Structure formats: structure tokens, C-alpha cells
């Protein structure tokens, strides 16, 4: 039968019933437009006029399913089952704001695991653009309203290169509660807490301020609950921006090296050229090579002239440094023109004035502890 006929019949059956209307169900029909002529279900036999278009029921009030059950015992059992399924994976009972796990809901370490520990999602902060030395990361607090209690977040960071086994070397580990929020961590790392898009949600952020330019870094985050369980890992891998280069200075050094190489090169001039090329940064050395070849390649390129004037051993020590430049930065360093730019980023550094009692959970302190703010800027 047409949908509108079904609704009308259902509404009539309720009105004629001796029992009360079904709790939480309201049927409301009204005409809104017409069905298209191609819809054969809307045509009534013997009537040329099309029936009104069916309209979806509107939700006036959201109530839990168990409130629709009239029997109190059944309602309470249904409520407990829903709460257990949602907060305790169906393997325990909700007691106030925690889960009492069943006897078969323990892991191999003897720890209750009926209440799942959510995985935090680590991401780059959209408010701070990564630079050659500064990277800002953030994540939302995964503390559920009922169930497990998050006691800390562990953030690991390391620089990845060909000399490091990424699986064996875990890098430096920082406790968000003990190292960062307490102010006991290094001055190269700053942490903060703010509200997410939802006021009840906390957004945690960590700024790394002393990274190496043109370096590949891996950041790993996981949550720890009060029972010592670890959540799944969340990983962000990125390469910091290319280092700043004074292009005018690089061109001056290229001219100086050419003058030292030109004509007869004494031992003193050789040592001066070698010291100069070893003291500059890797990116500056790459730019010096670019300017040298741009202006003086007709007298021999930079590599050939260095081997000829300094000898194969010293030339190899100099040129081996160029291998540390990534392919991305080497492409930029070959540009005809480089313009430097310095951005200023505001930040806040927080330090607690109170001593945290032993055994006190840190997520409660975040709401009660007095903090002092020291604002500033860093380039």
C-alpha cells in the first residue's frame, strides 16, 4: 500500500485503541508537495488526484531506548546492558563513573581490560607552521566520561637517519604529566592545554623548538591509564624545513675560494680554503658550490678544483658533507635567487607553583592548580 495509507491506518489504530498511546512515538501527517507522476505507488485506484508526498517523521525528543519499556525490572536490566555494552565492552558493569569488569575480562598481565583505552590521534598543529627548527604537535584528550582513567601521555621523538635503526632506537621519551606540565622538562620543549571545538574537550599541544633543519623526525604518542595499560600508538613523521642561508655571504665565500684556488696555491692558502669550507654549514657549503660553478665553471667546476688544489683526501671530507642535504633542499639551494624570511610566533610557557601530592592524578590538577604565564616570542 502507499506509505501515506500505512501511516493513516497506524494512526487510526492507535486512536481507536483502549490502551494509552505508545510512549515516545508520535505520528504526524501533513501534505507537503506532490509525488512525481512517475511514482506508481502514489496512484490510488479510481482516483485521478495523486496522494500527498510522504514526509519523514520529525524527532521531537531524544530518550534512551530503555525508557520505552514499561516494566521497571526489565527497564533496569535493559539499561544496565546498554551501559555495559557502550562503556565496558559488554564485559562488566558500570559503577558510578568506572567499570567493574567480569572475571573473564582480564588480560595476560592480570589487569582488567573491559574498559577500552582509546587511542589518541597525534597531528600537526594547524595554527603553527613547521619551520626549520620548530614543530608544533597536538592531540585531543581521550579521557572517557565513564570507564578507564587516563593518567599520562608519553611522547617519544627521534631523528631518523641512515645510522639509526628505527625499530631499536626509540628516541627520547617525555612524560606529559611529569616532564612537561610540571615544568621539569628541557627548555627546547613547551607544552600547553586549551579547549577543543567542544568546551568539555581538552586539546593538548607540544612545541619542539630546537630541532635540526632538514631533518627527518618521528613522533610517537600513546596514553597510559591508572592501571598501567598503554593505548595504541599514534605516529607522525615529518621533515623539518630547509635551513636559512645568507645568499650574499655564500657568494662572498665562493669568490674567496676562487681567489685562493687561482694561480699558485701555497700551503697556507690551501689550509685557509679547507678551514673555510669545513666551518660553514652544510646548506651554506651547497650554496657556495652553486655560486662557484655559476661564475667560475669555465675555469673548472668546484669539485675538480677542490680535488686539484686540496688533494683527494681533504676534498673528499668537504664533499662528503654535501650528502647530508636532502633532495628537496638541494633543489631549493640550486635556485637562482634565495630570499630569507623570519616569522615571529607567539607562545605561552606555563609553570606550576604548587607541589603535586604523590599519587594524585594529573588530570584533576589541570583544573585546580594555579599557573603563571610567561609570554614571549621566538623566531
Q: Which residue(s) pair with 225 in the sheet?
A: 150
Q: What's the whole-model pTM score?
A: 0.62
DSSP, res 108: T
Residues whose CB falls within 8 Å of the CB of residue 236, separated by 6 or more in sequence, listed in order: 122, 123, 124, 137, 218, 219
User: Nearest-CA neighbor of 195 among 203, 183, 187, 207?
Assistant: 203
Residues whose CB falls within 8 Å of the CB of residue 67, separated by 6 or more in sequence, listed in order: 23, 24, 75
Q: Which ranges constitute the DSSP H helices of the chain? A: 3-16, 72-87, 247-261, 267-279, 282-296, 302-310, 312-320, 327-333, 362-368
Alpha-carbon 192 to chain mean position: 14
Contact criterion met (CB below 8 Å) for 250 and 288: yes
Taking only the tens of pLDDT, the chain with its 379 residues reads 666 676 667 666 655 555 555 545 555 555 555 555 666 655 555 555 555 555 555 666 667 776 777 777 888 888 888 888 888 888 889 988 888 888 888 887 787 888 888 999 999 988 887 888 889 999 999 988 888 889 999 999 888 875 555 566 667 888 888 888 776 667 788 888 887 677 678 889 899 988 888 888 999 999 998 888 889 999 999 888 888 888 889 889 999 988 888 876 688 888 898 899 999 988 889 889 888 888 887 788 888 888 888 888 998 999 888 888 888 888 888 777 666 555 554 444 444 445 544 433 333 333 333 333 333 333 3
pLDDT of amino acid 33: 56
**Positive or negative torsion for Cα 131, 134, 135, 136:** negative
Residue 60 burial (10 A CB sphere; 0-12, 13-18, 19+): exposed
Report how far apart, in Å, the C-alpha atoms of 266 and of each of 2, 269, 270, 273, 279 are: 102, 5, 6, 11, 20
Amino acid at each position: 500500500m502507499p506509505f501515506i495509507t500505512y501511516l493513516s491506518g497506524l494512526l487510526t489504530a492507535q486512536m481507536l485503541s483502549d490502551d494509552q498511546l505508545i510512549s515516545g512515538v508520535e505520528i504526524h501527517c501533513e501534505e507537503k508537495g506532490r509525488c512525481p507522476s512517475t511514482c506508481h505507488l502514489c496512484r490510488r485506484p479510481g482516483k485521478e488526484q495523486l496522494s500527498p508526498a510522504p514526509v519523514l517523521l520529525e524527532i521531537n525528543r531524544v530518550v534512551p531506548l530503555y525508557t520505552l519499556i514499561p516494566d521497571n525490572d526489565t527497564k533496569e536490566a535493559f539499561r544496565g546492558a546498554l551501559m555495559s555494552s557502550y562503556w565496558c565492552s559488554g564485559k562488566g558493569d558500570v559503577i558510578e563513573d568506572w567499570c567493574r569488569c567480569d572475571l573473564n575480562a582480564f588480560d595476560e598481565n592480570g589487569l582488567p581490560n573491559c574498559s577500552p583505552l582509546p587511542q589518541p590521534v597525534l597531528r600537526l598543529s594547524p595554527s603553527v607552521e613547521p619551520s626549520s627548527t620548530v614543530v608544533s604537535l597536538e592531540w585531543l584528550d581521550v579521557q572517557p566520561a565513564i570507564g578507564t582513567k587516563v593518567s599520562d601521555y608519553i611522547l617519544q621523538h627521534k631523528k631518523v637517519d641512515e645510522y639509526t635503526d628505527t625499530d631499536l632506537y626509540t628516541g627520547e621519551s617525555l612524560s606529559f604529566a611529569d616532564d612537561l606540565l610540571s615544568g621539569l622538562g628541557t627548555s627546547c620543549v613547551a607544552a600547553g592545554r586549551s579547549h577543543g571545538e567542544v568546551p568539555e574537550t581538552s586539546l593538548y599541544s607540544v612545541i619542539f623548538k630546537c630541532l635540526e633543519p632538514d631533518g627527518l623526525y618521528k613522533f610517537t604518542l600513546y596514553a597510559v591509564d591508572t592501571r598501567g595499560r598503554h593505548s595504541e600508538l599514534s605516529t607522525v613523521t615529518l621533515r623539518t624545513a630547509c635551513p636559512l642561508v645568507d645568499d650574499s655571504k655564500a657568494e662572498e665565500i665562493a669568490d674567496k675560494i676562487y681567489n685562493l684556488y687561482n694561480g699558485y696555491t701555497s700551503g697556507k692558502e690551501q689550509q685557509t680554503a679547507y678551514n673555510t669550507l669545513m666551518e660553514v654549514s652544510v646548506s651554506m657549503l651547497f650554496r657556495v658550490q652553486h655560486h662557484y660553478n655559476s661564475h667560475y665553471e669555465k675555469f673548472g667546476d668546484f669539485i675538480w678544483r677542490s680535488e686539484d688544489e686540496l688533494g683527494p683526501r681533504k676534498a673528499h671530507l668537504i664533499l662528503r658533507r654535501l650528502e647530508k642535504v636532502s633532495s628537496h633542499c638541494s633543489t631549493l639551494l640550486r635556485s637562482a635567487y634565495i630570499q630569507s624570511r623570519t616569522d615571529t610566533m607567539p607562545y605561552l610557557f606555563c609553570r606550576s607553583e604548587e607541589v603535586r601530592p604523590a599519587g594524585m592524578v594529573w588530570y584533576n590538577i589541570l583544573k585546580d592548580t594555579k599557573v603563571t604565564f610567561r609570554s614571549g616570542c621566538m623566531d
